[in-house]
Chains A and B, each alone.
Chain A
Amino acid sequence: MDLCQFAAGADETTPIEFDPHGDQGDTPYSINCKYANGLKLVMRDKGFDGLGSCAVRFEGEEGWAQTGDRGVVETSESLSAFRKEFSDSRQATTYHVRDFLDSVKSRKQPRANALAAAQTHIGCHAAYIAFQLGRKLKFDPATDTFIGDGEANNMRSRAMREPWRLT
């Protein structure tokens, strides 16, 4: 999901709607999400065969492109100029370290910064809560609360096992 948020320029927010499709334990399942600007995000467990893990697909007015950790970019015919293979796709972690060191020098945020990570996790947890409850949920990214659903809000946190706590 972090790659989708990054590509959508949505690193500082989350979707506002989570709509699960499929029962628990079933596959395939999907969770259809929607951002405040109308952009759609589909979280699904099937359909990325051969792309590796962390696979993503982007669909727009001019075509589609999809890629994953295997280092291959597949596209529709209309975007065939962007098809490519990365020989160094396994170096992603190394590039993150380089990006972090560069950010220390430049005093700018790294691409995978803390806020982007937090918002991605919030979005994933919200999606899973919708999946567990099996119903569409509305979400307010400004307050990190579900709108009009007490049960969903109760699932946002859990009591920690003693003696642990967050301070």
Chain B
Amino acid sequence: MKTSHRKKIKLALRYIAVVALTILFLFPIYWLFMISFKTANEIYAYPPVWWPETLQLSNYRVLFEDGDAATVGNSLIVAGVSTIFAMILGTICAYSLARFKTGGEHLANWIISQRMIPPIAIVFPVFLLYVWFGMVDTYFGLILLYTAFNLPYVIWMMRGYIMDIPISLEQAALVDGYTRWQVVWKVVFPMCRAGLFATAIFTFVFAWNDFIFALVLTRTDVATYTVQVTHYFGGQSNFWGKISAMSVLGTLPIFFIVAFMQKYLVRGISLGAVKG
């Protein structure tokens, strides 16, 4: 068989496999989204309905009317603010580690080890502390925790990105008369923009999707959407409409971010592996 024919057949087979895999992996997401648009009758129809008669938004309306949708807002506040804090503080710390080797190997290793502690082991002590200080179910408390938990990741990643930037740019700026702080803001931050984006996305998504920290540290005021979803799990009757609608509300923003920042996300994961 001619090589070119063989190649075409191989390509066709690969394509079929790729399409099949994509369908397989996307099916659960499709199902989730689809349920959120179904009426109660359709949801609890037997055999299961694969495509709703009409796309109706009553499940969503309920969430907004009950005020449950506000939990997405909580997620946004908590994840957004903690990401900003973690990125700023973490990057300047990373700069110190990268350029001045502050604290040497020991500090770097200690920082990365902080990320390896299982959340449950962190959240329990933190919970005790928060109870003492009355910080349970507060924005500040949750933001503080997310910031702290994400710092090691940010520091580690940004350190790698900064080390890739040639130091000559900063030296030139210093010679030009910039102060060291100015060099950080005006030279370093812009130069590692790509790394900043990728790391920020990861940090945000991590905080956004977190469950266990929010479960322990929130009650009613600051409940994030992940916690809210589990409120609809009942003993016998799960409020599937609400579960799926709430899930979609919480997942859609992330999908948009991924769609727009897809390039950075993929680069972030791959570079993360190389640097890790």
Q: Do A and B make up one complex?
A: no
